[in-house]
Chain A
Amino acid sequence: MSRIEWRVDAGTHITLRKPPFLRRKVELNGQRVDGKWESKRFALTLQDGRSAVIELKADAFSRTTELSVNGKVIPDTRYVPGELHCPACHAEIQLLDEYCSKCGHALGAPGRFLSHRSVQSATTAIRVLAVLYAIFGVFMFFMLRDTTNAALANLAQYQDNETLAPIDGVTYTAGELRAQVLWEHRGVLVVNLILSALMLVLAWWSKRKPLAAILIATAIFAVVQVLGAIEDPKSITQGILIKIVVIGVLIRGIRGAFSLRTANG
């Protein structure tokens, strides 16, 4: 059963439960709230008269469940730290505070914590890329085996120091060309494993420095696409939708990490 919780303030706790095969249930301070879902929206009134709405949203990049109280988006407990402190004077603050009560520092709307969501999505995307690069490298290593063996068989008749006919204006010896062929076979595995390892390191680092990590991951992803396009220009359009989604998630992650950074001072 999935569950999302919002702690609006000390006296207001809203929970959305989704039991398997059953309808969603909304609870306010542990008590079930009767109501209807209309166009993926559920309206309720809090104990102090404030109006709240839970909305199920989806776009090309993600599906989210959002709570708004009096028009302000309230992040759920996954994205809000247990204790909140003013980044300027470190006084304790509440989730709904937009200014610090002690020093007046502008904190921003509660929705600022939702930036965590896009950062988490970007981190997940980086981990997925790490797995995909590793799988691709292993797959291509076995796919290229026969081609490599055929090329090496053709070169077997030449001695290592024998000069071959120029290729694209450059002269190679048989030994050099043999090394090149062998590298092209092993290299696809090595390169993809390096990329996979880099992405795993960046996914780990994003927990501490999300903005820097996601920036670098985005740069690496872009370069890999460029390398593929140089190798085969037609590959630019192959999987274009997935590439756009990945870039979109990463750029959202950059914006989210940037928002977190500026919100924390």
Chain B
Amino acid sequence: MDSDSSGLSICSVCGAELRAAARFCTFCGKRTSAPGQEPPPAAEPASAPPADANPSTDRWHELRVVGWLYGLLLLSSLLWGIAYSIEPSGDFLPWMTLIDGLVIVGFAGYYRGEIVPLLLPSTFDRNARDRLVVATVIQFALLGAAFYLLQKTGVPFERITDEMQRHHYSLWQLIAFYSLAPAVLEEIAFRGIIFNRLSLVLGEREAWLVQAAFFSVLHLSPVIFLTHFAMGLIFGWLRMRTRSLLPGMVLHGVWNASVILLELHR
């Protein structure tokens, strides 16, 4: 720290005028305090930011990854939707599942260090099983009632079993395409990759809300935005509380399979 001839403190690095009692220059950040005088420690903020050592450029990269994954899945939906509108009886479902699966597995492979630990059988412990039971009860009660009311108001839903009629799928093929594949792939995509990336930028709570919104919106039906948003919240809650993707996969698969079996029963 230097003083000019008038006694004002100036920074010895950049020459800027220093404030009274300043420990650092406000223009170049150079420490001005004498050796031994340590600056006050930074106070803990009221709501602690996420434990994240990445600088802001890395965090922007996380958002870009989310954008790429979401964008590719949306593009896939667009292309298959156009294909179906051109050829309504076309058998595109296996290809849709394959392409989406490759995209998601590709991203999961890149982030395998994070995703694989969430898939270990050891994560499906007693805590996970207890939370799964709670989530299952809530999901079937709440969303079952919601879908029942929607149907009563006359909202027509796409009949999954129409695919059986069009393409002569067996029940097991339907379960594979509409229950197992979405359960595994969507959980990895939304509660795995997207949730992890968003947590680094937004923190866990906001990431939980945003991934649920992305999940619901990507189903391309505004009528079921709210129900699928609730589903995304439930699956996300399981992911946060159990640190595992397995309970969400189980619940997701069971829910989808129930929808198929209920439709067949009717």
Q: Which residues of A contact B (CB under 8 A)?
A: 87-90, 93-94, 96-106, 168-171, 176, 179-180, 182-183, 186-187, 190-191, 194-195, 198, 209, 211-212, 215-216, 219-220, 222-224, 226-227, 229-231, 233, 254, 258-259, 261-262, 265
Return 25 A-B CB contacts under 8 Å, by A number: A99-B27, A100-B26, A101-B25, A103-B39, A168-B89, A168-B166, A170-B159, A176-B156, A179-B154, A180-B156, A187-B223, A194-B222, A212-B202, A212-B206, A216-B210, A222-B71, A222-B74, A226-B77, A230-B78, A233-B85, A254-B63, A258-B201, A259-B56, A261-B201, A262-B56
Contact B24 A226 (CB under 8 A): no
Q: Which residues of B contact A (CB under 8 A)?
A: 18-19, 22-29, 31, 39-43, 45, 49, 56, 59-60, 63, 70-71, 74, 77-78, 81-82, 84-85, 88-89, 154-156, 159, 162, 165-166, 201-202, 206, 209-210, 213-214, 217-218, 220, 222-223, 225-226
How many A-B residue contacts, CB cutoff 8 Å? 143
Contact A182 B154 (CB under 8 A): yes
Contact B26 A97 (CB under 8 A): yes
- List of A residues within 8 angstroms of B84 by Cβ: 230
Specify the chain B residue showing the minimal Cβ separation from A233: B82
Q: Contacting B43 at CB < 8 Å: which of A90, A94, A168, A258?
A: A90
Contact A88 B42 (CB under 8 A): yes
Contact A102 B22 (CB under 8 A): yes
- List of B residues within 8 angstroms of A219 by Cβ: 70, 213-214, 217-218
Contact B165 A170 (CB under 8 A): yes
- SS class, residues of chain A in contact with chain B: helix
The smallest beta-carbon distance between A85 and chain B, in angstroms, is: 10
Q: Contacting B88 at CB < 8 Å: which of A168, A215, A262?
A: A168
Contact A106 B223 (CB under 8 A): no
Specify the chain B residue showing the minimal Cβ separation from A133: B222
Q: Given that A99-B25, A258-B201 are known contacts, is A227 also in contact with B220, CB under 8 Å in the complex?
A: yes
- List of B residues within 8 angstroms of A229 by Cβ: 78, 81-82
- List of A residues within 8 angstroms of B165 by Cβ: 169-171
- 7 pairs of A and B residues whose beta carbons are closest in the complex: A230-B81, A101-B22, A99-B29, A104-B24, A168-B88, A262-B56, A88-B42
- List of B residues within 8 angstroms of A90 by Cβ: 43
The smallest beta-carbon distance between B224 and chain A, in angstroms, is: 10
The smallest beta-carbon distance between B102 and chain A, in angstroms, is: 20
